[in-house]
């Protein structure tokens, strides 16, 4: 899907105070009665961030101070090329990483494992496969794989068979990271967490694969360039433990 971008170049406008009640009422009426969670200023004078929950999860749109105009898309800071909307979504959808039931995930570790990532992923999602192949380039990483077979539910037993395999990490990578999927030979009849992971993903509003959670709890949907991912995980690894 194409994104509409706002380029934040320079703004020469007088500050405006938001008529929050009016913005809420206008957007809730326009969007069929959704409940606006919050309204706050953006770096652009007179433009305000509006947050609400939709069926696909948390959404951000923008409005003028009186709620007469709505804007959809992403705010981009031209000087730094930062996607301010994406940064806000990552902060707002962050969770406590320690609250994830990591015992339901396939653990893949290389080197000292200092870079930490959890992901909800489907072995038959093309974007997931590309991400898996990219992650193989990273050393000193621990990946917690929550097997989330939603692309081809009829093939969910392939994920179950990964769990039943003697070497789960190897079985997962052969299924999800190779040029062709190699279905584990272990069978799918052992006790496995796939149904629990599907329930967990729904509770976290995981609507697409891959969905990533970094060690600081921030969430990112879809892949990202491997260099950017490495830098982000390294930055988080350097942060003091809470």
Q: What are the DSSP calls for 101-166, one per residue?
A: -GGGSEEEEETT--EEEEEEE-TT-HHHHHHHHHHTT--SEEEEEEE---S-GGGHHHHHHHHHSS
Domain ranges of the chain: 5-92, 97-238
Note the pLDDT of residue 89: 85
For domain 5-92, the CATH superfamily is Disulphide bond isomerase, DsbC/G, N-terminal (3.10.450.70)
* DSSP structure string for 185-207: SS-S-S--SHHHHHHHHHHTT--
Q: Cis bond leading into 242, ω under 30°?
A: no
Distances (CA, A) of 228 to 16, 134, 137, 210, 225: 36, 12, 13, 16, 5
Q: Which tokens is 106 given? A: 């396939």
pLDDT of res. 138: 93
What CATH code would you report for 97-238? 3.40.30.10
Provide the pLDDT for residue 162: 98
Nearest by Cα to 48 from 33, 30, 27: 27
In the DSSP assignment, the letter for residue 230 is: H
Q: What is the pLDDT of residues 170-180, one digit of tens each?
A: 999 999 998 89
pLDDT at 20: 86
Note down pLDDT in tens along the chain; length 242 residues.
Answer: 334 545 443 333 444 566 888 888 888 888 887 889 999 999 998 899 999 888 777 889 999 888 889 999 999 999 998 889 988 887 887 889 999 999 999 999 999 999 999 999 999 999 999 999 999 999 999 999 999 999 999 999 999 999 999 999 999 999 999 889 999 999 999 999 999 999 999 988 888 899 999 999 999 888 788 898 999 999 998 887 65
| Token representation of residue 144 | 């917690």
Cα separation, 226 vs 214, in Å, equals 14
Q: Is 73 exposed, middle or buried (0-12, 13-18, 19+ CB in 10 A)?
A: middle
Which one-letter DSSP state was computed for residue 4?
P
- Report the C-alpha gap between 45 and 37 in whole angstroms: 21
Q: Please give the pLDDT value at position 242.
A: 59
- Residue of 77, 78, 91, 111 lying closest to 38 (CA atoms): 91
Distance CA 60, CA 17 (A): 19
């Amino acid at each position: 899907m194409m994104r509409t971008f706002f380029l934040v170049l320079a703004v020469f406008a007088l500050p405006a105070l938001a008529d929050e009640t009016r913005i809420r009422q206008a957007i809730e009426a326009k969007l069929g009665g959704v409940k606006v969670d919050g309204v706050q200023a953006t770096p652009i004078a007179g433009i305000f961030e509006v947050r609400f929950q939709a069926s696909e999860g948390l959404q951000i749109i923008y409005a003028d101070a009186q709620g007469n105009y709505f804007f959809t898309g992403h705010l981009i800071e031209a000087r730094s090329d930062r996607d301010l909307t994406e940064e806000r979504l990552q902060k707002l959808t962050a969770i406590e990483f320690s609250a994830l039931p990591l015992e339901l995930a396939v653990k893949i570790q290389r080197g000292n494992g200092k870079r930490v990532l959890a992901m909800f992923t489907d072995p038959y999602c093309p974007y997931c496969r590309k991400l898996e192949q990219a992650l193989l380039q990273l050393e000193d990483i621990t990946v917690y794989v929550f097997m989330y077979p939603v692309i081809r539910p009829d093939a969910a037993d392939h994920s179950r068979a990964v769990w039943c395999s003697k070497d789960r990490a190897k079985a997962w990578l052969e299924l999800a990271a190779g040029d062709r999927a190699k279905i584990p030979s272990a069978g799918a009849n052992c006790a496995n967490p796939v149904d629990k992971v599907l329930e967990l993903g729904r509770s976290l509003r995981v609507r697409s694969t891959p969905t990533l959670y970094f060690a600081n709890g921030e969430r990112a949907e879809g892949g990202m360039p491997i260099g950017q991912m490495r830098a982000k995980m390294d930055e988080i690894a350097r942060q003091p433990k809470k």
